[in-house]
Amino acid sequence: MADRLLLILFLVSYLFVSGVTSRNITIENKCNYTIWPGILSGGLGPPTGGFALKKGEARVINVPSGWSGRFWGRSLCSTNSTGGFSCATGDCGSGKVECTGGGTPPVTLAEFTIDSNGGQDFYDVSLVDGYNLPMVVVPQGDETCSTVGCVNDLNPTCPDELRVRGNTSLMTLATPIIACTSPCEAFNSSEYCCTGAYSTPQTCVPTDYSRVFKRACPRAYSYAYDDSNSTFTCASQPNYVITFCPSSALNTTK
Ligand SMILES: *[C@@H]1O[C@H](CO)[C@@H](O)[C@H](O)[C@H]1NC(C)=O
Ligand SMILES: *[C@@H]1O[C@H](CO)[C@@H](O)[C@H](O)[C@H]1NC(C)=O
Ligand SMILES: *[C@@H]1O[C@H](CO)[C@@H](O)[C@H](O)[C@H]1NC(C)=O
Ligand SMILES: *[C@@H]1O[C@H](CO)[C@@H](O)[C@H](O)[C@H]1NC(C)=O
Ligand SMILES: *[C@@H]1O[C@H](CO)[C@@H](O)[C@H](O)[C@H]1NC(C)=O
Ligand SMILES: *[C@@H]1O[C@H](CO)[C@@H](O)[C@H](O)[C@H]1NC(C)=O
């Protein structure tokens, strides 16, 4: 009896302290075209997957307490003559709209850890794997929690050597830039990848490339050790809205 009471007390305090509630993450597409968001869970089970989101549409994803994972957008997707589905950016390699793995770089990522550490969320937008679509993450209902991500389209300012252009059978200077590769991926050097002699926050410092990324996306990870200004926490257990191609400027005062 006493054991049972203890157990109940434990469960009640656990629910109270860690706030075992699910959270809603709304994904909205303000781009001028269809995108195909992808979701990859970091371990704790669903949600993982992907779907089409037409211009102007939104979808609510429910994530359990303790969940960690990432969201990204795929663009320029199509189904080929044998029914295989693939995307020019962010493709997850499944051959289907549904994803079972992560997006192929270059891809802009929104990363979350929900209710870690006694109810604190960690979230960021990362350009460490490059950039494909502008996206912001907006915590709902708590002014003290920061909006993060990229409002500006980075593709037009992407350095030549990092540009990924669309449909290569039409290769001309007018072929649109559809993504921007990370310098680590492009050059595989320890300086850009923060490996070897550059594997500490002291030695891995901003580069000309990371500065281009930072300029377009002041509130996103521009290289692997960009932690101090790029990972955000929120303790009020908010819901989040992820907006692709946001139109409004980021409020950088919070
Ligand atoms: C999540 O959204 C559903 C409806 O889509 C709503 O019923 C539910 O209360 C929401 N949960 C939270 C934690 O806001
Ligand atoms: C979006 O589409 C509309 C109508 O097709 C077009 O007028 C507008 O220029 C487009 N905007 C962008 C940013 O591509
Ligand atoms: C169609 O797409 C699938 C999945 O991407 C791929 O495996 C297959 O080779 C493609 N088929 C053709 C005819 O291009
Ligand atoms: C690339 O452009 C060519 C010529 O317009 C077209 O036939 C082909 O389907 C396009 N490929 C893709 C992947 O969009
Ligand atoms: C990147 O460089 C490392 C060490 O120089 C090497 O081991 C690795 O195979 C390279 N990766 C690619 C994809 O070229
Ligand atoms: C972080 O932001 C501060 C103030 O905006 C700036 O002075 C500093 O250089 C930034 N640090 C990094 C690593 O970007």
Give per-residue pLDDT as tens, 210-238: 999 998 888 899 988 887 667 899 999 99
Q: Looking at the domain assignment, is residue 126 inside a domain? A: yes
This prediction's pTM = 0.85
The count of domains in the chain is 1
d(CA 216, CA 130): 13
The answer to whether residue 104 sits within a structural domain is yes
pLDDT at 175: 72
Whether the bond between 246 and the residue before it is cis, its omega within 30 degrees of 0, is no
Q: Is the Cβ–Cβ distance between 210 and 100 less than 8 Å?
A: no
In a domain? residue 209? no
Residue 3 has pLDDT above 60, yes or no: no
Would you say the CB of residue 253 lies under 6 angstroms from ligand 6?
A: no
Rounded Cα–Cα distance for residues 63 and 61 (Å)? 6
Q: Is the dihedral of CA 31, 37, 42, 44 positive or negative?
A: positive
Residue 232 lies in a domain: yes
Ligand 1 test: best mutation among 62, 67, 236, most atoms within 8 Å of CB?
Answer: 62
Percent of the chain with pLDDT over 90: 72
In a domain, 167, yes or no: no
Scored b (16 or more CB within 10 A) or e, 223-246 reads: bbbbeeebebebeebbbbbbbbbb
The DSSP symbol for 83 reads S
Of all protein residues, the one whose alpha carbon is nearest to atom 14 of ligand 4 is: 167
Domain annotation covers residue 211? no
Q: Which of 82, 98, 99 to mutate to test the pocket of ligand 3 (most atoms within 8 A of CB)?
A: 82
Domain with 81 in it: what CATH number?
A: 2.60.110.10
Distance CA 27, CA 241 (A): 6
Q: Is residue 101 part of a domain?
A: yes
pLDDT of 16? 45
Q: How far is CA 7 from CA 12, 21, 73, 117, 148, in A?
A: 9, 19, 43, 22, 40
Does residue 200 sit within a domain? no
Beta strands 68-79 and 85-89: pairing type? antiparallel
Spell out the alpha helix ranges (H) of 70-207: 183-187, 190-193
Confidence of residue 194 (pLDDT cuts 50, 70, 90): very high
Domain that holds residue 231: 21-153+217-244
Confidence (pLDDT) at 250? 53
- With 80 as the cut, is the pLDDT of residue 167 above it? no
